[in-house]
Amino acid sequence: MLWDPEFETLPREALEALQLKRLVATAERVYATVPFYKKKFDEAGFRPGDIRSLKDLSYLPFTTKMDLRDHYPFNLFAVPMEQVVRIHASSGTTGKQTVVGYTRRDINTWAEVMARSLAAAGAQRNDIIHNAYGYGLFTGGLGIHYGAEKMGAAVIPNSGGNSKRQIIIMQDFGSTVLTCTPSYALFLSETAEEMGVDIKKLKLRVGIFGAEPWSEKMRDEIERQLNIDAIDIFGLSEIMGPGVSIECIEAKRGLHIFEDHFIPEIINPQTGDVLPYGEKGELVFTTITKEALPLIRYRTRDISVLYPQPCKCGRTHVRMERVSGRSDDMLIIRGVNVFPSQIESVLMNVEGVEPHYLLIVDRQGNLDTLEVRVEVNEKGFSDEVKELQVLGRRIEKDIKDLLGVTAAVKLVEPKTLQRSEGKAQRVVDKRKI
């Protein structure tokens, strides 16, 4: 369903004209109000008034997470504090957290793109939205919440955790839409099973999952276990939070980016050159309607592909392929580039293991080692030791054949790897210590 048919189906020419107008206004505003951007533009010898077409975007400077950290907490804000009505932060794995701010209009825009996202996933006013994204500094909980209220649906602000209670609430309140990380959706399914509740029989119809990378195979698994449609939603705090892009339920192929608010580019992460549609690289976003924290060419580190082909849902906005990993999550193991999501895909193709795994990277002498811990299912666990060994070898071979790296696979008992209520931790890299 289209929430805002006018903007979501704008013909390309009109959309690009709107983007250009908004881009120029944003560039002028940051030049005038954020000393960091004035300096960057001056160094590049480029003035906001020089922007003539969307192609000129490539002359503008990039912004990185490091820039946000260097201006911690509020020094990249483009409005005085009295106009800021909300602050969120994203913890990240290293260094200081990244702090982001919103004006009242920003909160409205966010609720709008979130309402569009919920509608794209097939949610409607009469839905009961079971929101199990964390509430707090993380943008997941409140982002979904405001979008659901804007739509007029009934939102249950569960936040993460207290999983048994979540199952009871789903059962008793008749939740129809589940929103949480994909890994937590699987954990809720396990919890229901332990409680003797058949989650397939609940009223859940759709799940809107994101905030961490997941694969097509994981989608199949979630859809099968929960008997729902599983939709991928993407976003990042720096740009807004959830609601930057989402799949439509009609196609479930690629995430529509709300291009009247965010301009996407794909760049070569090594050279910074802009890549054409269809090529894989790092996603870069420029916000064109944000007031408190407008960002020019923000480097996400997320790896994706953009494709402009029209979609059967009628949206004209460009689609991004599901994020396969982050350029900074890429593991280099004995010189081979490996993304955790690639290992996940191998594991999900193997009968007998569960979608719960942990990668442990270490170094022995000068050689990197990769251990893949993965849970076997109840049936596999009851098999003979010899059969388990065969299974382990088979996974090692698949990883070697497909990714070219040697891994030691350790099969562990069902339900022994730690579950997460939010973003799952998939990698422990001991080499950094």
Contact set with ligand DLL (CB under 6 A): 90, 133, 138-140, 210-213, 232-237, 241-242, 300, 302, 323, 326
Contact 412, 372 (CB under 8 A): no
**Structural contact between residues 288 and 263, judged by C-beta atoms closer than 8 angstroms:** yes
From start to end of 211-352, where are the E strands? 229-236, 241-246, 255-257, 262-267, 281-287, 298-304, 306-307, 319-320, 325-326, 331-333, 336-338
Closer to ligand DLL by CB, 167 or 303: give it: 303
CA gap 148, 52 in Å, rounded: 38
Select 132 or 391, whichever has its Cβ closest to ligand DLL: 132
Smallest distance, Å, CB 218 to ligand DLL? 11
Q: Considering the complex, what minimum distance in angstroms separates the CB of residue 182 from ligand DLL?
A: 8
Q: How far is the CB of 316 from ligand DLL (least distance, A)?
A: 22
Q: How far are the Cα atoms of 167, 174, 231, 262, 421 from residue 199, in angstroms, in the given order?
A: 8, 12, 18, 37, 18
Nearer Cβ to ligand DLL, position 182 or 392? 182
Q: Which residue's Cβ lies closest to ligand DLL?
A: 210
CB of 304 to ligand DLL, least distance (A): 9
Would you state the structure tokens that stand for residue 376, as one six-digit string?
Answer: 């076997």
Q: How far is the CB of 380 from ligand DLL (least distance, A)?
A: 28
3-state secondary structure (DSSP) of residue 301: strand
Q: Which residue number, 10 or 319, has a Cβ lying nearer to ligand DLL? A: 319
CB of 31 or CB of 298, closer to ligand DLL: 298
Q: Which tokens go with 260?
A: 């009247």
- At closest approach, how far in Å is the CB of 264 from ligand DLL? 13
Cβ–Cβ under 8 Å, residues 310 and 287: no
Task: Copy the structure tokens of residue 248.
Answer: 């439509």
Q: Which long-range contacts (CB under 8 A, 24 or more apart) does 31-35 make?
A: 33/78, 33/79, 34/76, 34/77, 34/78, 34/294
3-state DSSP call for residue 237? coil
Closer Cβ to ligand DLL, 249 or 323, answer by number: 323
How near is the Cβ of 166 to ligand DLL at its closest, in Å?
Answer: 17
Q: Of 160 and 392, which has the nearer Cβ to ligand DLL?
A: 160
Tokens of 25: 């206004």
19 or 237: whose CB is closer to ligand DLL? Answer: 237
Residue type, 56: D
Shortest Å distance, C-beta 340 to ligand DLL: 11
With H, G, I as helix, E, B as strand and everything else as coil, classify residue 385.
helix
